[in-house]
């Protein structure tokens, strides 16, 4: 009975060690996939979609939790211009939250001074939550 208990304890310990290793690998892969990124804004598609150059690769970014008029809609061109004036050509940090159904990275965009672009566009009345 004592030997059986020792085997059970060893088996439990082995299972828990492997489970902890799997959880750690999973968490590291999530942070790599959806962690902080940075790059230069090289394109403004509309008020809530931008393009960032990162490591010589263009990444399309959908601004997290906001919506704006599309280019063909009323105020669409003006919203695009306002977003461009705020971020075009600037180095930004992206707080990624995953991918949308079109494969774009969903992110909060932060300017070098810490301004959250998503919040700023809503605050200025160009976009909404």
Average pLDDT value for residue range 27-36: 53
The whole domain housing 11 covers 1-34
Is 59 considered catalytic here? no
Looking at residue 15, its pLDDT comes to 75
pLDDT, averaged across the chain: 86
Give a yes or no: residue 128 inside a domain.
Answer: no
Same-domain status, 43 and 8? no
Average pLDDT value for residue range 60-81: 95
Q: Kindly name the residue from 70, 78, 85, 101 that is annotated as catalytic.
A: 70
Is 70 considered catalytic here? yes
**Kindly report the CA angle at 117 between 112 and 121, in degrees rounded to 5?**
150
44 or 1: which leads in pLDDT: 44
pLDDT above 70 covers a percentage of the chain that reads 81
Is 104 considered catalytic here? yes
Looking at residue 25, its pLDDT comes to 47
Pairwise CA distance, residues 100 & 1, whole Å: 55
Residue 14 to residues 6, 7, 22, 24, Cα–Cα distance (Å): 12, 10, 12, 15
In this predicted structure, the answer to whether residue 1 has a pLDDT above a threshold of 60 is no
Give a yes or no: residue 129 inside a domain.
Answer: no
Which CATH number characterizes residue 84's domain?
2.40.50.90
In this predicted structure, the answer to whether residue 101 has a pLDDT above a threshold of 90 is yes
Give a yes or no: residue 69 inside a domain.
Answer: yes
């Amino acid at each position: 009975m004592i030997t059986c208990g020792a085997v059970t304890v060893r088996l439990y310990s082995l299972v828990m060690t492997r489970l902890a290793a799997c959880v750690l690998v999973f968490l590291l892969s999530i942070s790599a996939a959806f962690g902080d990124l940075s790059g230069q804004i090289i394109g403004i598609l509309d008020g809530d979609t931008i393009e960032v150059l990162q490591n010589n690769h263009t990444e399309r970014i959908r601004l997290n939790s906001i919506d704006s008029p599309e280019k063909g809609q009323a105020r669409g061109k003006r919203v695009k211009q306002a977003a461009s004036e705020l971020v075009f050509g600037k180095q930004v940090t992206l707080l990624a939250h995953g991918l949308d159904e079109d494969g774009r990275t969903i992110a909060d965009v932060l300017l070098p001074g810490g301004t959250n672009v998503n919040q700023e566009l809503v605050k200025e009345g160009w976009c909404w939550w």
